[in-house]
Amino acid sequence: MSDISATHVGSAGGSGRQKALKAFEAAGPLLALIFLMIIGSLMSSSFLGAENLSNVFTRSAIIGIIAIGATFVITAGGLDLSVGSLSALVAGVAIMVMNQATGSFGTGWLLVAAGIVFSLLLGAAAGFFNGAMIVKGRVEAFIVTLGTMGVFRSILTWLSDGGSISLDFALRDAARPIYYGTIGGIAVPIFVFIAIAVIAEVVLRRTRFGRHVAAIGSNRYVALYSAIPVDRVRILTYVIQGLCVGIATVIYVPRLGAATPSTGMMWELEAIASVIIGGTALGGGFGRVWGTVVGVLILGFISNILNLTGFISPYLNGAVQGAIIVIAVLLQRDRSQG
Amino acid sequence: MSDISATHVGSAGGSGRQKALKAFEAAGPLLALIFLMIIGSLMSSSFLGAENLSNVFTRSAIIGIIAIGATFVITAGGLDLSVGSLSALVAGVAIMVMNQATGSFGTGWLLVAAGIVFSLLLGAAAGFFNGAMIVKGRVEAFIVTLGTMGVFRSILTWLSDGGSISLDFALRDAARPIYYGTIGGIAVPIFVFIAIAVIAEVVLRRTRFGRHVAAIGSNRYVALYSAIPVDRVRILTYVIQGLCVGIATVIYVPRLGAATPSTGMMWELEAIASVIIGGTALGGGFGRVWGTVVGVLILGFISNILNLTGFISPYLNGAVQGAIIVIAVLLQRDRSQG
Amino acid sequence: ADATIGISIPAADHGWTGGLVYHTKRTVEAMKKAFPNIDFVVVTSSSATQQVNDIEDLMSRKINALVVLPQESDPLTEPVKAAKAKGVFVTVVDRGLAEKNIEDLYVGGDNPQYGVAAAEYFKKKFPDGGKIVVMRGIPTAIDNIRIEAFQNALKDSKIEILDMQYANWNPDKGFEVMQDYLQRFPKIDGVWAGDDDAALGAMEAIKQTDRKGVKVLGGSGMNKVIKLVQDGNDMVDADIFYPPTLIIPAIELTTMKFATQAPINGRYVLGSPLITKDNAAQYYFPDAPY
Amino acid sequence: MALLSLKEVTKSYGQVAVLKGIDLDVEPGEVLALVGENGAGKSTLMRIIAGLAQQTAGTASFDDVSAPTSLVGAEAAGIIMVHQEFCLAPHLTVAENVFLGREVRKGPFTDTKIMQRLAKESLARLGSSANPRAKLKDLPVSDWQLIELAKAFARNPRLVLMDEPTAVLSGTEAERLFERVREFRAAGGSVIFTSHRLDEVKEIADRVAVLRDGQIVRLERASQLSESQMAEAMVGRPLAEIFPAKCPPVNPVEVLGINNLASRGFVSEATLSVGQGEILGVAGLVGSGRTELFEAICGLRSATCVEFRLNGTVRKLPAAREAWQLGIAYLTEDRKAKGLLLGKPLAVNLALTSGALSGRTWIDKKAERAKLLDAVSAYDIRTGDIDTTAGSLSGGNQQKVLIAKTLASDPNVVIFDEPTRGVDIGAKQQIYKIIADLASRGKAIVVVSSEMQEVVGLAHRVVVMRKGKAVGELSGDGINEGEIIRLAMGVQEELDNVRYIGNARR
Ligand SMILES: Nc1ncnc2c1ncn2[C@@H]1O[C@H](COP(=O)(O)OP(=O)(O)OP(=O)(O)O)[C@@H](O)[C@H]1O
Ligand SMILES: Nc1ncnc2c1ncn2[C@@H]1O[C@H](COP(=O)(O)OP(=O)(O)OP(=O)(O)O)[C@@H](O)[C@H]1O
Ligand SMILES: [Mg+2]
Ligand SMILES: [Mg+2]
């Protein structure tokens, strides 16, 4: 849709009541989350327990970090379907490389650090590949990333001979704190998640690059006429996405210590859904990282509540999930684009 | 993105060479298909056999008909992720209803016909629901259909108690010809597929409604200001999509005789991919049904060739598929939007 | 070639099917070497629909025998029947078809027995009753059969099933569901994860808490889990045998049929015995990916 | 020594030559006006200078070196273009738009405070008080053009290219712009601008270049060229009286009437009526709510109305499609976003509204084409290739297509909102004649326009709006500019408050 349209339909700030309505809509996902948490605490006594909350936050970190990357891509008007497959691939390759290297590096934190760096590089490189194909090859993002989604997963399946690739047991102990460790009582993944969210929000909102990302998504031609390096910025969003996948994978691997062909299945849908639930526009132009974080938590808590209460037939979990997602977005329908 | 772009990029006809290039790009998916078929016939002697070709065309009919519906939705600037789940639901409910009705209707063609009508109605009704939520409820299509994707599949899982819903064996014989029958040597699904494709192409290209669909996808506000009934047309595209799912399901049921919680998984991705490979723009504004048909056949032949030659590790099928999809689209990159 | 054998199996989308594809490949390679005049074609499919397509494609290649491990019983019945009608020798593996007597040869595990074995394990572990949670697999007929048998076998015991949720035979989902079960139920004596992949996830979730003495039972015989059993892990002290290796005899027997003209048909059902520390060694294949 | 020097610059799109050997020098500290008919090549020439398009032949030099051939290069060299259509990002704030691509940084971060201050200053120098923190999409479009201009001047340019900058500005705003241009010129900056308002060309330009069919046919000091000489050079023949004679109907039968229409935030009390064969002019300052009023009447905006009469029957306000079915046609002032499908062929655009062309169901491509050919000759639409997309037409020619499209369904009530925006003087004359003809055929006509002469010259009766209210009505010989301005501004208010009115909605 043409963006200019927004002007005429959306309308000039206006009265206090309108402003309140706007603020309400802007806070939509947050309200949905709060609402969900109230429901959760009413339905299950263990819901508000520190441990349960910590569990949900911690496991949300993985999709969350990926979704933060997706916020950049989508804000710039792009799309990346390959994230789930990519994280499977990164996990698998990183584990293989680390297992190989135990001979020369030992099994200490040094190798773990090397593995982390390797994962980030691999993720970023894959993101660069996606971005370059889309921007320079001028192929629709949907197609390119649908393609690499198949390619990445296939490569992993091939490397793992269809089975799982497991981290060396000695290495597991060194890596374990990355998922299970706590700092001041708060789990490491939560720290990483928060740190990345804060950085990303700042980058998106306070830096020139972030400005350009939004401008490109808002209207690519505007950006072009303002002498913004459009291609470079667009490719960079995919690199950031890849990097985020790399980071998420670093957190994922120590959790179960293995990559399997089913690792990361459907993560792309979850990530995109989180971004959109959070209020970022699917067509691009406007993105907010905090919204994405809230979106991820909404999804995380929905399934947590379903597991904790279990009063619905497990067959219907998907229906409840689907319905809640739609309702959460209905709360902020101003931004709708159909 | 905005249509304004067209001004600067778009361009008037131009020289003979440019025209030839344009024609080449427009025919892109067709060339990709031909190329694929040449490869296929070189690599396998049975590839060009009447039976094999008939097989591929016949089974492509199912996704194909769904993808034709998706062409309308996408051309109007929408998206429907729920098609796979919907066809599972339609299949399941239709089978249950038919099984129930054998008592009073017998097991003849009458009941089969009633089942067909029921499927189409159910599909259309679900499409209407999607459309109304998106258009009247003003929620992003991605979210609504992601929601109903979960809802439809859950309902089926619940109805089937997690197992499968099978068509009465007596009824199977009555229904069998719908998939396995031939008319003048050509399989029934191929007839249906061609008929629907022709009708859809005519509707999209030659009727006022089709014009309106493209106009809305191109710029919804211009459409509104041109007295086009925007809401009605948008909802109708989803109804058409639902109807197409209904028809596809009618062909699907006699083939497998059962609906399971995994029926139709990932069909949405295949359908959308076919549409885009066929040259329809993901953002809307331009669609072509013949392209979609070619897109479906490309996907169908890729996996057929892989099966017939089987020289690659089965693990890597996904990679080959992904790569070919990207290449097929590279051939027509003019329409790219990233 | 004297004969072509087509093999249609599910794609490697979770651990067990991964192992299946691995063993299929290995067996085919071995058979090719042993019987150079027999051809093999392997196709893998990610859904029942695709598997039907694949079988059609195999038929186009004029196969003489079809070894098929159906994604789903009901949907594959018709297509396999059609293949049979064209005179192809049919070997069905693991999941039976919905109609009897289509296949020439059946090689399979015993799915009801799988559920019963699990139930017996818990009955023996908790003779005085206990509270267990269950993870179901992917919603399919097999999962239903196993769970039903499991529940029936527990009917006359004092064991209480607290809840059942789908974990899709997936370690990540197993981890998540287990974490939530642990929050929800202050006392859990045992977990039936339904599958070794999910069991691994559940184990990590339990390890994370300070709960002691929770018994985790998976199933299917993943080498990693069998190793744990063998090493006397106190959380996982048993497993149910239901290995993807059952594809091996299926392929071998079918090959024999064409290589040697030996009369081959009938049913070959592997039991689903409980693997414990005592017998673990005989089920342990350290080199398999699964 | 010339700042910019063009030699034999030629541009063709395919077979169509748009520019044919342009020789032109621009000195530092000079304001050059480009005038010419729609499609003469003005925008194309500017786009070449700005590095957005490449000439097919000829050379351009800037500062005695060969001129930059990319936008980035041009920007670096100090050449900035303000486009005929808006090039702003609606989701970003005003300050962000102004500094897009030129962000001021403090360390790694953008310095929002400074940019907001500078943007505010830059806007203030153009007389705009737009809030630099507001998102663009939340501002009325009336502010957008000034923001574009502020964006250009904030880039420290040496040469500013402005393509019809005043087409969407009110008189006062245009005045402020000219002041800013004079300031800029005094500081040594150069400006090339285009306009179809020849009076302002005369007022602000040092030199005038008249373009016809891609060639410069006259290039002279502005002081040596009268408006009518310019017009004659453009069109190639002397122009007669621009407005057709008025022949108001006697006691016309009312076709459309409204009592007290209100649309939240924009229109509060609007009462008016238009009769058969009558041309009703609607005047008012920018932002007085005229567009909103008529959009509401056509069902394009929600509103309430005490009474709505159509052809003598009282009914409720129609919905968008209903209005059209009732024979009310609305020509939007915003052709890019609401008027035309820029990516689609002309024939498709023309046929969008017309039920007559296509039957209820089928499209008749032959009829569409015939209609297009009719429209091309009736409205003098200038295009090299009849199958081209609407977006590749020049701005004025797009406007003609829009008018053709709006009239294609033969409506009974026609509301023209800024009908001659971006249209050359010859074409204006034509459009006026079309409007008068429609009226003489008994149609009820409304002309909303910010060009005072247009309202005065065309209308049989004039309604003046102020702050969303219809504040007065003039007719016959009572119609004159002074009276309209008095009503539009309110007697007691000073000239300075005009901007306040313009921004009232913020
Ligand atoms: N991208 C393009 N492709 C083909 N033809 C084009 C393109 N851009 C412009 N033209 C043609 O070039 C000619 C000159 O257009 P241009 O926009 O320069 O006119 P203009 O003088 O600015 O007119 P106006 O006063 O209406 O804005 C027109 O006939 C137009 O159709
Ligand atoms: N798309 C556009 N392109 C250029 N200028 C525009 C556009 N839309 C509106 N304008 C300008 O902005 C002015 C104000 O438009 P807006 O619709 O915000 O207010 P309005 O109430 O319609 O004002 P008016 O009473 O003058 O019509 C218009 O008169 C016009 O000059
Ligand atoms: Mg122009
Ligand atoms: Mg207006």
A12 touching D (Cβ < 8 Å) = yes
pLDDT of amino acid B22? 66
pLDDT of amino acid A6? 31
Tokens, residue C109: 């595990």
How many other β-carbons are positioned within 10 Å of the β-carbon of residue D361?
10
Task: Check residue D477 and report its DSSP letter.
Answer: G
Task: Check residue D392 and report its DSSP letter.
Answer: G
**Which chain D residues have a beta carbon less than 8 Å from that of A207?**
108-110
Phi, psi (degrees; rounded to nearest 5) at D298: -90, 15
Query: Quick one: CA dihedral D281, D285, D286, D290, positive or negative?
Result: negative
pLDDT of amino acid A17? 59
Give the burial class of A17: count Cβ atoms within 10 A of its Cβ; 0-12 exposed, 13-18 middle, 19 or more buried.
Answer: exposed
Tokens, residue A58: 């911690």
- Quick check: helix, strand or coil at residue D481? helix
Cβ–ligand 2 contact at D334 (below 6 Å): yes
B267-277 and B289-309 are packed helices; what angle lies between their axes, rounded to 10 degrees?
A: 120
A166 touching C (Cβ < 8 Å) = yes
Hey, where are the domains in chain D? 4-238, 242-327+411-505, 336-409
In chain D, residues 78-137 whose CB comes closer than 8 Å to chain A: 81, 83, 86-92, 96, 100-103, 105, 108-110, 112, 134, 136-137
Min Cα distance D489 → chain B (Å) is: 31
State whether A258 and C12 contact (CB < 8 Å).
no
Q: In whole angstroms, what is the distance from residue A58 CA to residue A294 CA?
A: 14
**Identity of residue B152:** F
Cβ–ligand 2 contact at D290 (below 6 Å): yes
Tokens, residue C250: 């299926």
Per the structure, the complete domain to which residue B89 belongs is given by 49-269+281-287
Considering CB atoms only, which of D363, D383, D388 is closest to B207?
A: D363
State whether D90 and A219 contact (CB < 8 Å).
yes
Given a cut of 50, whether residue A8 has pLDDT beyond it is no
Considering CB atoms only, which of A157, A234, A318 is closest to B150?
A: A318
DSSP calls for chain C: --EEEEEEEE-S-SHHHHHHHHHHHHHHHHHHHH-TTEEEEEEEESSHHHHHHHHHHHHHTT-SEEEE--SSHHHHHHHHHHHHHTT-EEEEESSPPSSTT--SEEEE--HHHHHHHHHHHHHHH-TT-EEEEEEE-SSSHHHHHHHHHHHHHHTTSSEEEEEEEE-TT-HHHHHHHHHHHHHH-S---EEE-SSHHHHHHHHHHHHHS---S-EEE--S--HHHHHHHHTT-SS--EEE---GGGHHHHHHHHHHHHHH-----EEEE---PEEETTTGGGG--TTS--
Residues B193-201, mean pLDDT to the nearest whole number: 97
CB-based contacts of B203, cutoff 8 Å, min separation 6: B209, B210
Which has more confidence, B259 or A12?
B259
pLDDT of amino acid A149? 93
Average pLDDT, chain C: 88
Is D in contact with B (3 or more beta carbon pairs below 8 Å)? yes
Which has more confidence, D117 or A16?
D117
pLDDT of amino acid A119? 95
| Rounded percentage of chain C residues whose pLDDT exceeds 90 | 28
How many other β-carbons are positioned within 10 Å of the β-carbon of residue C108?
19
Taking CA atoms, D247 is separated from C212, D444, D451, in Å, by 99, 13, 21
Q: How far is the CA of B288 from the centre of ligand 1 (A)?
A: 30
**Identity of residue B151:** V
Does A325 map to a domain? Answer: no
Query: CB of D368 within 8 A of CB of D347?
Result: yes
Taking CA atoms, C239 is separated from B132, C95, C225, in Å, by 51, 20, 7
pLDDT of amino acid C251? 93
Cβ–ligand 2 contact at D176 (below 6 Å): no
pLDDT of amino acid B31? 86
How many other β-carbons are positioned within 10 Å of the β-carbon of residue C82?
16
Q: Summarize pLDDT for B242-263 with one digit per residue, the tens.
A: 999 999 999 999 888 889 888 8
Total tally of structural domains belonging to chain B: 1
State whether A314 and C165 contact (CB < 8 Å).
yes
**Which chain B residues have a beta carbon less than 8 Å from that of A283?**
1, 283
Q: Summarize pLDDT for D68-106 with one digit per residue, the tens.
A: 888 888 988 999 999 877 788 888 999 999 998 888 888
Taking CA atoms, A141 is separated from A77, A235, A324, B71, C130, in Å, by 9, 11, 28, 18, 53
State whether A146 and B322 contact (CB < 8 Å).
yes
Query: CB of D331 within 8 A of CB of D406?
Result: yes
pLDDT of amino acid A2? 31
Q: How far is the CA of D194 from the centre of ligand 3 (A)?
A: 8
Looking at chain D, which residue has its C-alpha nearest residue A207? D109
Q: Summarize pLDDT for D442-478 with one digit per residue, the tens.
A: 999 999 998 888 899 999 999 999 888 888 899 888 8
Q: In whole angstroms, what is the distance from residue A178 CA to residue D83 CA?
A: 53
Cβ–ligand 2 contact at D179 (below 6 Å): no
Confidence of residue B311 (pLDDT cuts 50, 70, 90): low
pLDDT of amino acid B333? 59
**Which chain B residues have a beta carbon less than 8 Å from that of D325?**
227
CB-based contacts of A135, cutoff 8 Å, min separation 6: A231, A234, A235, B338
Give the burial class of B107: count Cβ atoms within 10 A of its Cβ; 0-12 exposed, 13-18 middle, 19 or more buried.
Answer: buried
Highest-confidence range of B238-242, C182-186, C275-279, D131-135, by mean pLDDT?
B238-242
Beta pairing, strands A258-259 & D444-448 = unpaired
Does A78 map to a domain? Answer: yes
pLDDT of amino acid B338? 32
Does B138 map to a domain? Answer: yes
**Backbone φ/ψ region at C190: left (φ over 0), alpha (ψ -120 to 50), beta:** beta
pLDDT of amino acid B11? 39
Pocket residue to mutate for ligand 2, from D168, D177, D462, most atoms within 8 A of Cβ: D168
Q: Summarize pLDDT for A120-136 with one digit per residue, the tens.
A: 999 999 999 999 999 99
Cβ–ligand 2 contact at D472 (below 6 Å): no
How long is chain D?
506
Tell which residue, B171, B183, B145, has the closest CA to residue B268. B145
CA dihedral C44, C46, C50, C52 (to 10 degrees): 60
Looking at chain B, which residue has its C-alpha nearest residue D320? B227
Give the burial class of C142: count Cβ atoms within 10 A of its Cβ; 0-12 exposed, 13-18 middle, 19 or more buried.
Answer: buried
| Rounded percentage of chain B residues whose pLDDT exceeds 70 | 89
Tell which residue, D87, D108, D57, has the closest CA to residue D151. D87
CA–centroid distance for D502 within its chain: 17
DSSP calls for D430-465: HHHHHHHHHHHTT-EEEEE-S-HHHHHHH-SEEEEE
Average pLDDT, chain A: 85
**Identity of residue C181:** Y
pLDDT of amino acid D244? 85
Q: Which residues of D12-38 are buried (b: 16+ CB within 10 A; e: fewer)?
A: bbbebbbbbebebbbeeebbbbbbbbb
Considering CB atoms only, which of A1, A234, A321 is closest to B219?
A: A1
Ligand nearest to the CA of B14: 1
State whether B12 and D323 contact (CB < 8 Å).
no
C146 touching B (Cβ < 8 Å) = no
Cβ–ligand 2 contact at D395 (below 6 Å): no
Indicate the pTM of the whole model.
0.90
D356 touching B (Cβ < 8 Å) = no
Q: Summarize pLDDT for C119-154 with one digit per residue, the tens.
A: 999 999 898 889 999 999 888 888 888 999 999 999
The matching CATH number, chosen from 1.10.3720.10, 3.10.180.10, 3.20.20.60, 3.40.50.300, for D242-327+411-505 is: 3.40.50.300
Does B260 map to a domain? Answer: yes
pLDDT of amino acid B85? 96
| Rounded percentage of chain A residues whose pLDDT exceeds 90 | 46
pLDDT of amino acid C221? 83
Q: What is the CA radius of gyration of chain D?
A: 23
Cβ–ligand 1 contact at D393 (below 6 Å): yes
**Identity of residue A119:** S
Phi, psi (degrees; rounded to nearest 5) at A272: -65, -45
Given a cut of 60, whether residue B15 has pLDDT beyond it is no
Q: Whose CA is nearest to atom 29 of ligand 2?
A: D286
Confidence of residue A224 (pLDDT cuts 50, 70, 90): confident
Does A330 map to a domain? Answer: no
Given a cut of 50, whether residue B12 has pLDDT beyond it is no
Residues D257-272, mean pLDDT to the nearest whole number: 88
Tell which residue, A36, A40, A49, A57, has the closest CA to residue A308. A40
A230-256 and C196-208 are packed helices; what angle lies between their axes, rounded to 10 degrees?
A: 80
Query: CB of D349 within 8 A of CB of D406?
Result: no
Does B217 map to a domain? Answer: yes
Average pLDDT, chain D: 87
**Backbone φ/ψ region at D385: left (φ over 0), alpha (ψ -120 to 50), beta:** beta
Cβ–ligand 1 contact at D382 (below 6 Å): yes
pLDDT of amino acid D249? 84
Tell which residue, B233, B276, B231, B5, has the closest CA to residue B136. B231
How many other β-carbons are positioned within 10 Å of the β-carbon of residue C123?
17
Does A9 map to a domain? Answer: no
| Rounded percentage of chain D residues whose pLDDT exceeds 70 | 95
Considering CB atoms only, which of B135, B234, B338 is closest to A78?
A: B338
Query: How many interface pairs between B and C have CB atoms less than 8 angstroms apart?
Result: 111
State whether D71 and A227 contact (CB < 8 Å).
yes
Query: Does the interface ipTM go beyond 0.85?
Result: yes
Tell which residue, A113, A116, A86, A111, has the closest CA to residue A99. A111
Given a cut of 70, whether residue B16 has pLDDT beyond it is no
How many other β-carbons are positioned within 10 Å of the β-carbon of residue D186?
9
Given a cut of 90, whether residue D362 has pLDDT beyond it is no
The matching CATH number, chosen from 3.30.460.80, 2.60.120.10, 3.30.470.10, 3.40.50.300, for D4-238 is: 3.40.50.300
How many other β-carbons are positioned within 10 Å of the β-carbon of residue C68?
27
Does B253 map to a domain? Answer: yes
- Quick check: helix, strand or coil at residue D38? coil
Which of A3, A209, A224, A231 has the most D C-beta neighbours within 10 Å, making it the best mutation to test the interface with D? A3
Q: In whole angstroms, what is the distance from residue A193 CA to residue A190 CA?
A: 5
